[in-house]
Amino acid sequence: MTGPKPSTPKRRFLSGLFGGRKGDRISVGNPTSIISVELMEKTGIFFPDAHLDSQKMAELSAAGYEILGFDSIMPEFSVQQEAEALGCMVDWGSPTMMPDAKTHPAKEVEQLKIPENLLEKPSIKVVLKALELLRSHYGDHVALIGKVMGPWTLSYHMAGVQDFLLWTLTDPDKVRHFLDRLKEVTIAFAKAQLQAGADVVVIADHATGDLVSPKTYQDFLLPVHQEINQRIGGPTILHLCGNCSDRLRLFVEASFDAYHFEWQVDARMAVQVVNREMSLIGNIDNKNVLFRGTPEDVYKQARYSIEAGVDVLAPECAVPLQTPLENLKAIVEAAKQGYSSRGNS
Amino acid sequence: MTEEELKRFYLALRDTNLSTTEDLIKEYIENQVSPISILNEGLIGAMGIIGQEFKASQIWVPAVLLAARNMNKGIEILKPELLKNNVESRGKFVIGTVKGDIHDIGKNLVTMMMTGAGYQVIDLGIDVPKEKFLEIISKDHPDIVGLSALLTTTMLEMKDVIKNIKQTFPNPPKVIVGGALVTQKFADEIEADGYGEDAVRAVELANRILFLEGKK
């Protein structure tokens, strides 16, 4: 029982997302950006324009499907779309530099201003418009992925990373208040993206394994993530980087449909621990393999992840902008070999 | 300093209450303990334990930020006493995120850990042009220069900075590098003198360069 052959990108991705029928091969998706300078050159659409123009955003993101052969299209490249709408000054960067928030305007809860017309703010609206455009062109056969920042990441934007992390020890109530207020932004933007045409929305929340402990996640974020998932209603993928081998079960408890994970987390171990209660998307190493390795290195890692039983194959995180195109294509090539090793698929 | 006393310093650095460190340092100064001993055996000793716990994933970044905050307060109180005693730092370390790159949490953690290990740290901040590194080297003669970069483009800037430092100075300081996408291999390619995977390893690397490889 392997399901329909050949499958289509959308059916393949959705099946992987929900841990369903395996079909003829694993799906290749991108919960985070796969845009590289080479892709910008090929499409003639460059950063920073593509962050702020819905047509350009849609077209550049579609290159992931058209040129690389991924099964999904995800139009939000940066982590700063919400930041500008919430009052941070954002430097939108360049073709070789991702955007960055320059100011962090809220050191107190009272300084958090969530605009009533949040969804009308230019940096938010552009994503919704891009999704609508993508739905009308690709919505029938390619999976469309939306992306929003979770309240932890939004707190970094609003307060600065170091202050916010320090408060987890010195002022835990303030941390809770920040998360409580900012989760409304996450929920509103996620719902709007699903309504605009996304099949699933990624919640990117950088309480990363390298920065905070599993207990910090459990105490502060787990209940908030549970509420977010309940209230959004549609499918969600958690993106939370770093080595999270020690907290995978907490993400299951938070009720995400899938977890987008890094190479540092061993795929075989992860598959065993989550026990099909949540899908796993990942986990090709950006630093040593996609960015600095060869297509053969990519192939080897991809095969390891496939044979470990990962549900959707993907880079571990937003790829470095100088990632070679041939390495990104090598992910799709590895997937096309099917479920068993090269030569006997 | 006894094991018991070191433990008091360790607990003070872990305490969310800043006054615990303040009171402890004042108590030791009043009891005529030498400021060098308070600094080296107390504060730096305790920070060393915190660094090792961080490396072993027993504690995380918030606890390191807290310890650095407390330690800075401790040093501030101790400073007049240290000046009276003409205490030399372990070594002089200049650090900055290279031009074009504005990311600083990694750099800040290295700054905290190097300060915590007894180095005099000059932090040039973010988006630092190579001219600024050259200027500070001729003026302050650091033992080690640390370059940080997060982006693929700015990693290449590191290469340029290193080349310029080595060409400009007959006895250049050692240059060490770090950043999310930097690897040992890349560090070797751009002829850096060392690569630190994280803040604790950066301190270990600096110690190794200065004390084991005989620069000091």
Taking only the tens place, the pLDDT of each residue in A72-98 is 999 999 999 999 999 999 999 999 889
Residue A44 has pLDDT above 50, yes or no: yes
Taking only the tens place, the pLDDT of each residue in A150-173 is 999 999 999 999 999 999 999 999
Q: Which residue of A has its CA nearest to B56?
A: A210
DSSP state letter for A97: B
- How far apart (Å, rounded) are the C-alpha atoms in residues A322 and A196? 31
Q: Which residue of A has its CA nearest to B107?
A: A162
- Please tell me which residue, A60 or B151, carries the higher pLDDT value: A60
Given this model, what pLDDT does residue A2 score? Answer: 54
From residue A1, give the alpha-carbon distance in Å to each of A21, A88, A91, A300, A309.
Answer: 8, 52, 51, 27, 17
The beta strand positions in A79-223, using DSSP E, are: 90-91, 100-101, 143-149, 200-204
Query: Using a CB-CB distance cutoff of 8 angstroms, which residues of chain B are in contact with residue A90?
Result: none
What order do you get walking across the sheet with A279-284 strand by strand?
A27-28, A312-315, A279-284, A258-261, A236-239, A200-204, A143-149, A72-73
Taking the CB of residue A297, how many other CB atoms lie within 10 A of it? 17
Strand A279-284 and strand B144-148: the pairing is unpaired
- How far apart (Å, rounded) are the C-alpha atoms in residues A87 and A70? 34
Q: Which residue of B has its CA nearest to A97?
A: B151
Question: A216-253 b/e with 16+ CB inside 10 Å = b?
Answer: bbeebbbebbeebbeebebbbbbbbbbbbbebbebbbb
Q: Which residue of B has its CA nearest to A244?
A: B57
Query: Using a CB-CB distance cutoff of 8 angstroms, which residues of chain A are in contact with residue B152?
Result: 96, 291, 320-322
Question: Is B121:B113 a contact under the CB 8 Å cutoff?
Answer: no
Residue B186 contacts A where some CB pair is shorter than 8 Å = yes
Query: Using a CB-CB distance cutoff of 8 angstroms, which residues of chain A are in contact with residue B69?
Result: 166
Question: A299-331 b/e with 16+ CB inside 10 Å = b?
Answer: bebbbbbbebbbbbbbbbbbbbbbbbeebbbbb
Average pLDDT, chain A: 95
- Name the pLDDT band for A344 (thresholds 50, 70, 90): very low
Question: B17-44 b/e with 16+ CB inside 10 Å = b?
Answer: ebebbbebbeebbeeebebeebbebbbb
Question: Is A25:A10 a contact under the CB 8 Å cutoff?
Answer: no
- How far apart (Å, rounded) are the C-alpha atoms in residues B130 and B133? 5
- How far apart (Å, rounded) are the C-alpha atoms in residues B14 and B4? 15
Give the gap in angstroms from C-alpha A192 to the nearest C-alpha of chain B.
31
Given this model, what pLDDT does residue B102 score? Answer: 73
DSSP string spanning A194-236?
A: HHHT-SEEEEE----TTTS-HHHIIIIIHHHHHHHHHHH-S-E
H helix count then E strand count, chain B: 10, 5
Give the gap in angstroms from C-alpha B65 to the nearest C-alpha of chain A.
6
A→B interface, C-beta within 8 Å: 91, 96-98, 100, 102, 161-162, 165-166, 168-170, 210-213, 216, 286-288, 291-292, 320-322
Taking the CB of residue A132, how many other CB atoms lie within 10 A of it? 15
| Tokens matching residue B152 | 């693929």
Taking only the tens place, the pLDDT of each residue in B80-92 is 888 888 777 889 9
Answer whether B105 sits within 8 Å of A321, measured CB to CB: no
Count of A-B CB contacts under 8 Å: 59
Give one word for B119, left, alpha or beta, with left for phi > 0 and alpha for psi -120 to 50: beta
φ and ψ of A210, to 5 deg: -85, -20
Which of A163, A165, A218 to probe the B interface (max B CBs under 10 A)?
A165
Answer whether A212 sits within 8 Å of B102, measured CB to CB: no
Residue indicated by tokens 């301190």:
B203
Query: Using a CB-CB distance cutoff of 8 angstroms, which residues of chain A are in contact with residue B16?
Result: 169-170
Cis preceding linkage at A4, omega within 30: no
- Please give the average per-residue pLDDT across A44-48, as a whole number: 98
φ and ψ of A233, to 5 deg: 90, -40
Nearest to A161 by CA among A150, A169, A153: A153
Nearest to A170 by CA among B123, B154, B15: B15
Q: Which residues of chain B have pLDDT under 50?
A: none
- How far apart (Å, rounded) are the C-alpha atoms in residues A164 and A158? 9
Residue A54 has pLDDT above 70, yes or no: yes
Of A96, A165, A292, Cβ closest to residue B62: A165
pTM check: above 0.90: yes
- Name the pLDDT band for A59 (thresholds 50, 70, 90): very high
Give the gap in angstroms from C-alpha B13 to the nearest C-alpha of chain A.
12
Taking only the tens place, the pLDDT of each residue in B178-198 is 998 899 999 999 999 999 988
Answer whether A96 sits within 8 Å of B153, measured CB to CB: yes
| Tokens matching residue B27 | 């108590």
Which of A46, A94, A166, A241 to probe the B interface (max B CBs under 10 A)?
A166
Taking the CB of residue B181, how many other CB atoms lie within 10 A of it? 18
Which of A35, A211, A241 to probe the B interface (max B CBs under 10 A)?
A211
Residue A329 has pLDDT above 90, yes or no: yes
DSSP state letter for A48: T
H or E element that contains A315: strand A312-315
User: How large is the ipTM?
Assistant: 0.91
| Tokens matching residue B160 | 């340029």
Residues 43-72 of B with CB under 8 A from A: 59-63, 65-66, 69
Query: Using a CB-CB distance cutoff of 8 angstroms, which residues of chain A are in contact with residue B180?
Result: 287
Query: Using a CB-CB distance cutoff of 8 angstroms, which residues of chain A are in contact with residue B150?
Result: none
Nearest to B151 by CA among A260, A154, A89, A95: A95
H or E element that contains A122: helix A122-138
- Name the pLDDT band for A5 (thresholds 50, 70, 90): low
Tell me the three state secondary structure of residue B180: coil
- How far apart (Å, rounded) are the C-alpha atoms in residues A46 and A44? 6
- How far apart (Å, rounded) are the C-alpha atoms in residues A220 and A175? 8
φ and ψ of B199, to 5 deg: -65, -40
Nearest to A105 by CA among A156, A148, A153: A156
